[in-house]
Homo-oligomer: A and B are copies of this chain.
Amino acid sequence: MLDLVLNHRTIRKYKSDPIDEQVLDKILTAGTRASTTGNMQVYSIIVTSGQELKKKLWDAHFRQDMVVQAPVILTFCADFNRFNLWCKLRKAIPGYDNFLSFFTAAIDALLAAQNCALAAESFGLGICYLGTTTYNADIISELLNLPKHVVPVTTLVVGFPDESPELTDRLPLEAVVHREKYKEYTREDIDFHYHEKEALESTEMLIRENNVETLAQIFTEKRYTRKDNEQFSSKLLEVIKKKGFLT
């Protein structure tokens, strides 16, 4: 199990081979065994494999080809709709139309997602998380018919890998771990923790290709710009509000 976790690679190229239904059910079942707040299971998993709908999701996910290549797309949603319905049918008045409840449901959905990711990998399948889910939560909601109190929070692409990438670098453990309390970083700490990443050959290449001075500038000026972040941020808050979680 530890080996599986330590050897995780994100896969961005997939074969079109389908996933056996029984295997898929085991992956989904693994998701449902994750911890869930008060055993409420306030999430839903949408399994999309039809080519037509995948094509539409591909558009919503910034046209990343793996979305149409891979056989299965799992959209994980924070979902208080089912629970609210149950309450109403059982003489109980739900009070889950607030931000805390949304966040609680999002936690549930994300823990389930990571269980599914690892279960998929245990079957030799590859996975990729799509951050674009929160950017275009409005479009995805429409495509998947998500009702009020259901918000998509992440997506997993699942399928047989058609590439075998190297293990990605990570910051040294001590860069992200704090003992007892949070210890603010000094300039020296930052230099120390980021040195290895900045010294990678791939980093030098990225800097040249992007015609910038530093790796950090690739993030702030190319990949995750203030303009994009602020635009998608407003949209996401609007979705959360429209879905009835910010009253």
CB within 8 Å of B: which residues of A? 1-2, 4-8, 10, 25-26, 28-30, 32-35, 37-41, 43-50, 53, 77, 79, 81-83, 85-87, 89-96, 98-101, 103-104, 106-107, 110-111, 113-115, 117-119, 122, 127-129, 131, 134-135, 143-147, 150, 153-154, 168-171, 173, 175-185, 187, 190-191, 193-194, 213-217, 219-221, 223-227, 229-230, 232-233, 236-237
A73 to chain B minimum Cβ distance, whole angstroms, is: 10
- The answer to whether A28 and B92 touch across the interface, beta carbons within 8 angstroms, is no
Task: List chain B residues, Cβ under 8 A from A6.
Answer: 29-30, 33
How often does this chain occur in the complex, in copies?
2
Query: How many angstroms from the CA of A216 to the CA of B127 in the assembled complex?
Result: 36
Name the residue on B nearest A102 (C-beta). B233
The interface centre, meaning the residue of A104, A146, A154, A227 with most chain B CB atoms within 10 A of its CB, is A104
Enumerate chain B residues within 8 angstroms of A29, measured Cβ to Cβ: 6, 173
Chain B residue numbers with a CB within 8 Å of A94 are 220, 226
* Cβ distance A192 to chain B, nearest Cβ, rounded Å: 11
Would B41 and A107 count as touching, CB distance under 8 A? no
Measured CB to CB, the closest approach of chain B to A145, in angstroms, equals 5
Complex Cα–Cα for A89 and B113 (A): 35
